[in-house]
Copies of this chain bind each other. A is one copy, B any other.
Amino acid sequence: MRSQQSRILVQLRDLILKGAFAPGERLAEIPISARLGASRTPVRLAFSTLEQEGLVASSPGGGFVMRAFTRKEIDDAIAVRGVLEGMAARLLAENGLAPGMKEAFEECLTAGDSALGGDALSLDGYADYVEMNDRFHEMLVRFCGNAALQRSIEVNSRLPFAAASATLPMHPASGDGRRWLLITHHQHRTLVEAIQRREGTRAQALAIEHVEVARMNLRFAYEKAREGAEVAPAMRLLAPSEDRESA
């Protein structure tokens, strides 16, 4: 632990993203500081940071409350991620890959190949794919060499369900799940191909299209919100009033 505040921040963000607090719930300082074993000061600081990140909202009467996330909001954030990752892909294609980047991308592709290799998808294979997917998107953003772009994507991806991990179907056991993983993996492959060929516009378009899978998964998650809430408690962060719109 580098400092109390960084530890508190990470733990608190983790709790939030795991759905430990219900939307609208007041986030009182004293019980949380007691729970995390620190005083109120670092907790206050963490709240302030989390407010910047958009995870909690400041209550008009002081203090902070847990936010709810509407479907439109998440959908919009995913669209923004698409545009930003599209820019990153275009930049990479235009500027060319520095030594080692090509190998790193290809390592991701082969890792995905082996994760999806068998006929059925094991839970380990799914975990491997998730890890690879995160790495792939992180590299795409880091390699493009635009720090502002990297920052924007990081800020944007802090919204629940907007990050690259949310691209993946949350129902890997089903046949549908594996099929969608195969599609995203194919998209990764074509994206790398376009970047290597310096086809900037194509790379950009592919990256933008890539996030459509995430939007589809979001729609699926909303439709199955009832059963999903048991598997992933974070689902309760979704604003329930949006159910109408998803119909």
Contacts and interface: CB of A to CB of B under 8 A. Distances in A.
Interface residues of A, number: 26
A148 B80 contact: yes
7 contacts: A48-B49, A49-B52, A73-B147, A80-B149, A83-B87, A148-B156, A148-B159
Interface string A43-61: 0110011001110000000
Interface string A123-143: 000000000000000000000
Interface of A: 41, 44-45, 48-49, 52-54, 73, 76-77, 79-80, 83-84, 87, 146-149, 151-152, 155-156, 159, 162
The complex is assembled from copies of this chain, and their number is 2
A212 to B, nearest CB: 15
Contact of A152 (B49, B73, B152): B152
Given A80-B152, A83-B87, A148-B156, 10 more contacts: A41-B41, A45-B48, A49-B49, A76-B147, A77-B148, A79-B148, A80-B84, A80-B87, A83-B83, A84-B152
A51 to B, nearest CB: 9
A146 B73 CA distance: 7
Contacts of A151: 54, 155-156
Q: Give me the 10 closest cross-chain CB pairs, A-B, nearest first.
A: A77-B148, A76-B146, A76-B148, A80-B148, A52-B52, A83-B87, A80-B149, A152-B152, A155-B155, A152-B156
